[in-house]
Structure 1
């Protein structure tokens, strides 16, 4: 059923891990999303090894879409050192890639970054000690600043944050405790709270939780495809969410 006129319906999924042998596998998913939503959000790990050939397969799968598609890259999309090639292939096919950018679609503002790791709350890694640790923390800080800058550019009543790494611990719980610090960073939560986003979406944690909230009660959704298949086995593996076009 099409959404009411006072809302924008988004379809969101992450971690589709498209490979060179994925021809035809993702088209049904994208066709259903196109029928049910106003915009598709791809929250990172679009490919399995970050190969240009995988991105070519993905854009062929996306050819069935007739709604705008926004995306951020994930860690897998950097694996082979070809992120610039991937960006060109995707943008040439009409996908809007967000890496510190913002855009408005159907009355809603979207800001996106990949994000980075570093841990959560009082256990978040700090920039102290070896140069390599400081560089690691610097990457996390830079991603948070990019998200803050992108959100600040939006004048829409509602803002949505599109991430790959998690901004809160709640949606990654269920993964082995030892790897939680590598699944996201609380530094990404701060801009969400500051700009009172309508919601945030991420992937990366295939065995986490589907929903959580920031310290200021902003909803956060983990839309990793393996997780959605587990929690919603009778539904297409994307999350449908309605965004009211006013903030009241």
Structure 2
């Protein structure tokens, strides 16, 4: 099948754009533009969640002529100015998802930031102190956001995008002690009920590039520092090719 019969989706996270990043990302985005038909940004787009950083990133992205969809990460909410960060990026043409869904080039995309909490039998339960219950509830609410977004999609091909990982497999390589803070299997549950073509996330800079959910959905850790280290001979983004929908003439 020729590339013209496929949609090429580039995904990357953890750009950590700073106030000094002006001019440093344009060559990277140029590589993305040449290789892909759309770009998914998987959180930690800024370093401290500052509007100044968001303005710089929007400027760096301005030369891209392909659709851009993003979710925020924990760094993007660090300063409590995430609404401004999101507005600046949206004004720059980026579609930012927070429990919403959209369709781009015939592909359905569901996205949310996600949250922490641990995996499998090690997942934190809502028991004990109110602060623990609030922590677990945050993970539950993010999982519900993802489920709601996935339920809205009617396209044949769908992608889920997160910042935190829904599986343990793609955080392996990080110190075991911090696994519970890199994601939670609560985010995997919606993917079992609403299967997708693939899942992309960031956050785990020292994790593993590829894994899968319990029902076999490919999960890609697209944290830019990880991709730079794992694949030093190619640009640090994951390229996913998805077959275009066939158009039947009437």
TM range (shorter): over 0.9
CA RMSD of superposed structures (Å): 1.1
Structure 1 residue aligned with 2:99? 100
Q: CA deviation at 1:32?
A: 1.1
Structure 1 residue aligned with 2:80? 81
* Structure 2 SS opposite 1:241: strand
Query: What stretches of structure 2 of length at least 5 have no aligned partner?
Result: none
- C-alpha distance after superposition, 1:2-21 (max 9, x if no partner): 8232x211001000100000
Structure 2 residue aligned with 1:28? 27
- Rounded to whole Å, the distance in 2 between the matches of 1:159 and 1:192 is 11
Structure 1 residue aligned with 2:115? 116
* Structure 1 SS opposite 2:70: strand
Of 131-140 and 24-33, deviating more is: 24-33
User: Is this contact kept in 2: 1:72–1:112, CA < 8 A?
Assistant: yes
User: Is this contact kept in 1: 2:19–2:56, CA < 8 A?
Assistant: yes
User: Is this contact kept in 2: 1:44–1:71, CA < 8 A?
Assistant: yes
- Rounded to whole Å, the distance in 1 between the matches of 2:173 and 2:10 is 24
* Structure 1 SS opposite 2:66: coil
- Rounded to whole Å, the distance in 2 between the matches of 1:218 and 1:201 is 11
Shift >6 Å, 4+ stretches: none
- Rounded to whole Å, the distance in 1 between the matches of 2:3 and 2:226 is 25
Structure 2 residue aligned with 1:52? 51
- Rounded to whole Å, the distance in 2 between the matches of 1:219 and 1:23 is 34
Q: Please report the TM-score for the alignment, with normalisation by the length of structure 1.
A: 0.97
> For this pair of structures, how many residues does the alignment match?
245
Q: CA deviation at 1:186?
A: 0.2
* Structure 2 SS opposite 1:109: strand
User: Is this contact kept in 1: 2:106–2:245, CA < 8 A?
Assistant: no
User: Is this contact kept in 1: 2:118–2:185, CA < 8 A?
Assistant: yes
Structure 2 residue aligned with 1:230? 229
- C-alpha distance after superposition, 1:90-147 (max 9, x if no partner): 0011100000110000110000000000000011001000000000000000000000
Q: CA deviation at 1:246?
A: 5.4
Q: CA deviation at 1:47?
A: 0.4
Structure 1 residue aligned with 2:240? 241
Structure 1 residues 1-248: aligned runs within 5 Å? 3-5=3-5, 7-245=6-244
Query: What stretches of structure 1 of length at least 5 have no aligned partner?
Result: none
- Rounded to whole Å, the distance in 2 between the matches of 1:140 and 1:246 is 34
- Rounded to whole Å, the distance in 2 between the matches of 1:108 and 1:172 is 27
